[in-house]
Amino acid sequence: MLDKNITEIKESFYTDIKSVSSIKDIEEIRLKYFSRNGLVSQLFEDLKDVVKEEKPILGKKLNLLRNEVSSYFEEVKERISSTQSNKENEIDLTLPGKNYIVGSKHILTQTLDEIKSIFKGLGFSVANGPELESDYYNFESLNFPADHPARDMQDTFFVSKDFLLRTHTTPVQIRLMEKQAPPVRAIMPGRVYRNEAVSARSYCMFHQVDGIYVDTDVTFAELKGTLVSFAKQFYGSDLKYRFRPSFFPFTEPSAEMDITCYLCHGKGCKICKNSGWLEILGCGMVDPNVFKFVNYDSEKYTGYAFGMGIERIALLKYGITDIRIFFDNDLRFLKQF
């Protein structure tokens, strides 16, 4: 009797387990065969009533059955539960991916990077100075007479009687020369501030790059050569330029460099006020009076200096007509560069 049951239960187990397809089915099989009152457990109960002589053989058979079906059961259970959980965690490869918006450098930073790299190629290092400056560095040591219009309240944001927001990056020339004996060859980029009405052409904060080279026998011809080389690398080698006499308290002689108007190419238009030319920078030979402030021997050393506005340099390169657009942070503008 028990023998027959063993065979039947074995068969019925294999039939049942064939149709298993979910964790729920697995649980049903477990209950039906392996729980306390399950069919397999029941067989062991029945063994108790078997005659003594048959017990060892049937017991062995029963053990074999239990080992076989339970290990097969575990196998199937394992397979079903791993495919089920895979289904739950399945990745849908057809879903559109996450779109990361990658930022880029602001056009002014890009312009400054380009200016720096050109001047580095010409042997200049890069120096920095504070935006909050003293009257001494911003004006006095740069040979501004006490009543010079640049000291006027209209141009300068004074923080106190002696301190102000620098109106140009030229004071860094003084700071550098105070620290270092000639030869000095560096550019000095940074923010500057002017108390001007904001308009398409001027802003209360903008950026400049100054440059200085002091050594024995530095000449105006070298100044021109350096600036022409810079301008051609920056704007293109077919660039036309001219130097015009000008005035700055800290250089003598002083000049301004013009390039042909990007819009009319020299014919004359609204942008260049019909002159065909656009000013890109101021420059000159360092005034011997400036050398006095930093204890350089003006009999022994000469130097040239220059300064330009980064916004202006970029405006002219890209044909932008309103300086305010640099600071609006409008992505439609920024993304174009």
Q: In b/e form, how buried is each residue of 295-306, taking b as 16+ CB within 10 angstroms?
A: ebeeeebbbbbb
Q: Which residues pair with 186 in a beta bridge?
A: 125, 212
> Binding to ligand DAH by residue 284, rule CB under 6 A?
yes
Query: What is the closest distance, in whole angstroms, from the C-beta atom of residue 142 to ligand DAH in the complex?
Result: 8
For ligand DAH, which residue of 170, 226, 260, 302 counts as binding (CB under 6 A)?
170
> Binding to ligand DAH by residue 77, rule CB under 6 A?
no
Site size with ligand DAH, rule: CB under 6 A = 11
CA distances from 21 to 30, 68, 80, 225 (A): 14, 20, 7, 84
What angle, rounded to 10 degrees, do the helices at 39-47 and 2-18 form? 170
Query: What is the closest distance, in whole angstroms, from the C-beta atom of residue 99 to ligand DAH in the complex?
Result: 44
> Binding to ligand DAH by residue 73, rule CB under 6 A?
no
Residue with smaller CB distance to ligand DAH, 283 or 314: 283
Residue with smaller CB distance to ligand DAH, 170 or 226: 170
Helix (H) or strand (E) holding 205: strand 205-215
Query: What is the closest distance, in whole angstroms, from the C-beta atom of residue 304 to ligand DAH in the complex?
Result: 7
Which residues, 177 to 216, sit near ligand DAH by CB under 6 A?
Answer: 210
> Binding to ligand DAH by residue 119, rule CB under 6 A?
no
Residue type, 287: D
Segment interacting with ligand DAH, rule: CB under 6 A, options 39-47, 236-244, 280-288, 313-321: 280-288
> Binding to ligand DAH by residue 129, rule CB under 6 A?
no
For ligand DAH, which residue of 165, 283, 313, 316 counts as binding (CB under 6 A)?
283
> Binding to ligand DAH by residue 248, rule CB under 6 A?
yes
> Binding to ligand DAH by residue 226, rule CB under 6 A?
no
- Count CA atoms closer than 13 A to 85's CA, side-chain side: 5
Q: Which residue of the chain is nearest ligand DAH when measured via CB?
A: 307
- Contact call for residues 249 and 142 (beta carbons, < 8 A): yes
Task: Assign 207 to helix, strand or coil.
Answer: strand
Q: Assign 3-state DSSP to the chain and report helix, strand, coil percentages, each to 5.
A: 45, 20, 35
Q: What is the token pair recorded at 132?
A: 């909050």
> Binding to ligand DAH by residue 282, rule CB under 6 A?
yes
What angle, rounded to 10 degrees, do the helices at 55-89 and 39-47 form? 170
Question: Does 145 sit behind a cis peptide bond, omega within 30 degrees of 0 on the bond before it?
Answer: no
Question: For residues 150 and 144, what is the distance between their CA atoms, to the nearest angstrom?
Answer: 8
Segment interacting with ligand DAH, rule: CB under 6 A, options 34-42, 196-204, 287-295, 303-311: 303-311
Task: Assign 322 to helix, strand or coil.
Answer: coil
**Hey, how many other C-beta atoms are within 10 angstroms of the C-beta on 261?**
22
Residue with smaller CB distance to ligand DAH, 6 or 212: 212
> Binding to ligand DAH by residue 305, rule CB under 6 A?
yes
For ligand DAH, which residue of 251, 258, 259, 314 counts as binding (CB under 6 A)?
251
Residue with smaller CB distance to ligand DAH, 189 or 307: 307
Q: Which residues pair with 134 in a beta bridge?
A: 163
Residues within the interface to ligand DAH (CB under 6 A): 168, 170, 210, 248, 251, 282-284, 305-307
